[in-house]
């Protein structure tokens, strides 16, 4: 089967004193999601999944539109900061030289899970979805940390590696998943749909 792991579009910044931030998409993020949906509209999909966080659900909606598919919510592909009262796009942290940026680089900015627990939760959920759609093509709209965890597993890299590469907003990462258990990377950071749009793509680029 072919698996499309997709990072969510750009959300708003939200910093709360208490509670869970769970921000919605920004205006630019909504436009990114629309371009993503248009780009994938010619491809058959058997199912569209999204994490339980707003930014993933809202990004998945244009992908599912026009397909007679509902977005299936899979809470176990939510990001490691899913319960955090703060969400600041990493581009803003980097630009401001915020101490949290260095903590992320050092792997010290932890959520409520250990790295191993996070990997087991997210990779396990992705493998369950693969098992439910043998021979199909499925999109999972999730998060940069989740994509890193799964690609790390496919490449056989040390699992304590967080953020070894940077998935751009609405980037597509295609994985071929054989019923024998073999996993192969087809594309990484596919973002043709954002080219020449002027929309932010991620840490280093604009479309």
Give the percent of the chain with pLDDT over 70.
Answer: 93
Domains in the chain: how many in total? Answer: 1
Separation between Cα atoms, residue 189 and residue 148, nearest integer Å: 11
Q: Give the CATH number, domain containing residue 126.
A: 3.40.50.1240
The answer to whether residue 205 sits within a structural domain is: no
Mean pLDDT for the chain?
Answer: 91
The answer to whether residue 132 sits within a structural domain is: yes
Instruction: Tell me which residue of 2, 3, 5 sits closest to 167, measured CA to CA.
Output: 5
The answer to whether residue 201 sits within a structural domain is: no
pLDDT per residue as tens digits for the range 62-73 = 999 989 899 999
Q: Tell me, what's the pLDDT at 73?
A: 98
The reported pTM is: 0.94
Helix axes 144-155, 115-132, angle to 10 degrees: 80
Q: Is the pLDDT assigned to residue 109 strictly greater than 80?
A: no
Question: Once rounded to an integer, what is the mean pLDDT over residues 131-145?
Answer: 97
Comparing 107 with 10, which gets the higher pLDDT?
Answer: 10
Q: Tell me, what's the pLDDT at 106?
A: 63
The answer to whether residue 47 sits within a structural domain is: yes
Instruction: Tell me which residue of 62, 64, 61 sits closest to 47, measured CA to CA.
Output: 64
Q: Cα 5 to the chain's mean position, in Å? A: 7
The answer to whether residue 172 sits within a structural domain is: yes
Q: What residue numbers bound the domain in which 141 lies?
A: 2-194
The answer to whether residue 45 sits within a structural domain is: yes
pLDDT per residue as tens digits for the range 8-61 = 999 999 988 888 999 999 999 999 999 999 999 999 999 999 999 999 999 999
The answer to whether residue 83 sits within a structural domain is: yes
Q: Tell me, what's the pLDDT at 29?
A: 97
Task: Provide the residue count of the chain.
Answer: 207
Q: Tell me, what's the pLDDT at 195?
A: 93
The answer to whether residue 56 sits within a structural domain is: yes
pLDDT per residue as tens digits for the range 171-201 = 999 999 999 999 999 999 999 999 999 998 8
Q: Tell me, what's the pLDDT at 108?
A: 61
């Amino acid at each position: 089967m072919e698996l499309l792991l997709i990072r969510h579009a750009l959300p708003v910044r939200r910093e709360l004193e208490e509670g869970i931030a769970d921000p919605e998409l920004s205006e630019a993020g909504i436009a990114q999601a629309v371009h993503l949906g248009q780009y994938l509209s010619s491809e058959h999909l058997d199912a569209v999944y999204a994490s339980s966080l707003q930014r993933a659900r809202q990004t998945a909606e244009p992908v599912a539109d026009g397909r007679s598919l509902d977005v299936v919510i899979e809470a176990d592909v939510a990001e490691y900061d899913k319960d955090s009262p703060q969400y600041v796009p990493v581009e803003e942290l980097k630009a401001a030289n915020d101490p949290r940026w260095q903590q992320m680089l050092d792997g010290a900015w932890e959520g409520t899970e250990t790295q191993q627990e996070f990997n087991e939760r997210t990779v396990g959920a992705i493998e369950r979805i693969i098992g439910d759609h043998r021979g199909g093509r499925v999109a999972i709209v999730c998060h940069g940390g989740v994509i890193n965890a799964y690609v790390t597993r496919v490449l056989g890299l040390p699992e304590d590696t967080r953020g070894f590469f940077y998935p751009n907003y609405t980037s597509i990462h295609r994985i071929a998943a054989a019923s024998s258990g073999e996993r192969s990377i087809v594309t990484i950071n596919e973002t043709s749909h954002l080219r020449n749009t002027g929309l932010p793509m991620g840490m280093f680029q604009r479309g």
